[in-house]
Amino acid sequence: MNCNKPKAVELFAGAGGLGVGLEQAGFDIVLANEIEGDFARTFEMNHPKTKMICDDIHTIDFRSELSKLDVGEVVLVSGGPPCQGFSTVGSKRRQDPRNSLFFEYLRAVREIDPLYTLFENVSGFKKLYNGEAYGRLLQELKDLGYQVASAVIEASNYGLPQIRQRTIVVGWKGSQAPVRIPPRPNVHKGPNLFNLPDRMSLIDAISDLPELSFNDSSSEYKCEPLNEYQRKMRNGCRILTEHNSSNYGEKMREILSLIPEGGSVLDLPERLRPKSYFNNTYARLRPDRPAPTITRNFGTPSSSRCVHPYQNRALSTREGARLQGFPDDYAFHGSKGSKNLQIGNAVPPVFGRIIAEEIIRSLEESQSSVILTKANAL
C-alpha cells in the first residue's frame, strides 16, 4: 500500500476491470467488495494489496471496515450496481430486488464520505423509468454535498478495440475543483491512450496471438508485438495464458467452415440453421473495425457475432480479455465459463483510467489552490 497515493474503495468490483483503470491512473484501492466467489478471487489475485470482502454489500459496515484498516482519508468511492436490474434488455420491473443495490451504493458513499464518487452503469441508465433512477442518483449525491457531471462514454473513442458504451456519473465535494469528463478525442489525429492514429481494429488487437484448431491451446506468442496496443497488453509477458479453443462436434465444425468472412447464420444452408435465430448469430467478427460489445458468451459460436475473423472457432478467453483491455498478465480464477463470464461482465479498464485521471487532476488542482491561499495569507 502506497501512503502517498490517493485511496479508493471499489464496490461491485467484479473481476477488477475498473480497478485496473483506477490503479493505472494512480489510485490505491484499499477496500473492495464483490459477492461472487470466482470474481472476488480473481480480484484478489490481481490486486493483492487490497482487502476484498466477498459478501453481500447489505451486510457491510464500511466505517468499521475502514477503521480496521487505518488507511486514513478515502478520496474516492467507485462502482456500479449490477446492470441486470437496469439493463435496456430484459426486465425493467421497478421492484426488481437488484435495484436495491443502487441504494447500497449511496449508503456506502454516505458512510465513507469521500471527496469524489464514480458511478458507472449501462448506456441506457439515464433513460430508465423515464429518467427517474438517474434523477434520483443525482439528487441523492447533491443532498450529500456533491456537484455532479455525467456522460455516456464510448470506449472505442479512447483506444479500446471494442464498441462499448457506459453511463458515467462523477461527483465531487463543493470544495474541490470541478471534474471534467474527457471529451471525445479526435481519433483521426490522435493521440488516444495507446498512441494510435485511429480506432483500434479487432485484428490489430489480437494479430500476435497464434492460430488454434479445435480443442486447442497455446502458451507461445505468434510473434513480437506488432503495435503499441499489443506491447502494452503483453506488459513484458513471455508466456501466453488463457489462449484456448473449445471442442466442437461434426455439425458445428461444418457450420464454422461455411461462414464466409464477415458472414453470419444467413450464409448457412437451411439445413444447418436453427429453427429460430437472430441474424448476428454464427457470425464472424470483422477484422478491420472494433469488435461489437463483448458479452459473457463470446466463446460460444451461436452467440452474437463472436466467431474469429479467419479461424473456425469462437474467441479464446485471452482474446476476449484483450478486447476488454485486460493486460496479458491478468489472471482469472475458475472454469473457462466462469472466466468468460467475468470478462464479458467487466468494466473495461479504459473507463476507470480516463475518469480517474481527471479526478486526480481535480485533486491536485484543489490541493495547489489551498497551498496558494495559505501562502497568500502569510
For the stretch 130-157, pLDDT in tens is 788 899 999 999 999 999 999 999 999 9
Question: Alpha-carbon distance 86 to 81, whole Å?
Answer: 9
For residue 127, what pLDDT band results from cuts at 50, 70 and 90? confident
Vertex 98 angle, CA 322 and 18, to 5°: 30
Is residue 334 classed as helix, strand or coil in its secondary structure?
coil
Other residues' Cβ atoms within 10 Å of the Cβ of residue 292: 19
Q: How confident is the model at residue 90 (pLDDT cuts 50, 70, 90)?
A: very low
pLDDT tens, position by position, 353-373: 999 999 999 999 998 865 555
Question: Which residues does residue 78 pair with via DSSP β-bridges, in sequence order?
Answer: 10, 118
Q: Supply the pLDDT for residue 99.
A: 60
Indicate whether 320 belongs to any domain.
Answer: no
Spell out the alpha helix ranges (H) of 259-335. 317-324
How many other β-carbons are positioned within 10 Å of the β-carbon of residue 128? 21
Which residue type occupies 36? E
Could you tell me the CA-to-CA distances from 22 to 26, 31, 180, 356 in Å, in that order?
6, 13, 16, 6
- One-letter identity of residue 164: R
Tally the C-alpha atoms within 13 A of residue 274's C-alpha that lie toward its C-beta: 13
Task: Indicate the DSSP class of residue 301.
Answer: T
| Residue in 83, 223, 237, 306 annotated catalytic | 83
Distance from C-alpha of 17 to C-alpha of 195, rounded to nearest angstrom? 21
Residue 171 lies in a domain: yes
Give the type of residue at 178. P
68 located within any domain: yes
**pTM of the full predicted structure?**
0.90
**Nearest-CA neighbor of 23 among 353, 331, 363, 360?**
353
Rounded Cα–Cα distance for residues 352 and 357 (Å): 8
Contacts of 279 (CB under 8 A, 6+ apart): 264, 265, 266
Q: What range does the domain containing 170 cover?
A: 7-188+350-377
Whether 83 is a known active-site residue: answer yes
| 228 in a structural domain | no
Contact 101, 81 (CB under 8 A): yes
Q: How many domains does the chain have?
A: 1
CATH of the domain at 33: 3.40.50.150
Q: Is 173 exposed, middle or buried (0-12, 13-18, 19+ CB in 10 A)?
A: middle
In a domain, 157, yes or no: yes
Beta bridge partners of 331: none
Judge whether 138 lies within some domain.
yes
Residue 107 lies in a domain: yes
Asked if the bond preceding 290 is cis, omega within 30° of 0, the reply is: no
Lowest mean pLDDT among 58-62, 170-174, 192-196: 192-196
**pLDDT tens-digit readout, 7-42:** 999 999 999 999 999 999 999 999 999 999 999 999
- State the Cα–Cα distance between residues 308 and 244, nearest whole angstrom: 12
The answer to whether residues 256 and 301 touch, using CB atoms and an 8 Å cutoff, is yes
pLDDT of residue 182: 82
What residues pair up with 240 in beta bridges, in sequence order? none
- The confidence score (pLDDT) of residue 369 equals 64
Report CA dihedral (174, 359, 104, 87) to the nearest 10 degrees: 120
Q: How far apart are CA 299 and CA 217, in angstroms?
A: 14
Q: Classify residue 73: in a domain, yes or no.
A: yes
Mean pLDDT, the chain, integer: 90
For 275, residues 6+ apart whose C-beta sits below 8 A from its C-beta are none
What is the C-alpha R_g of the chain? 22
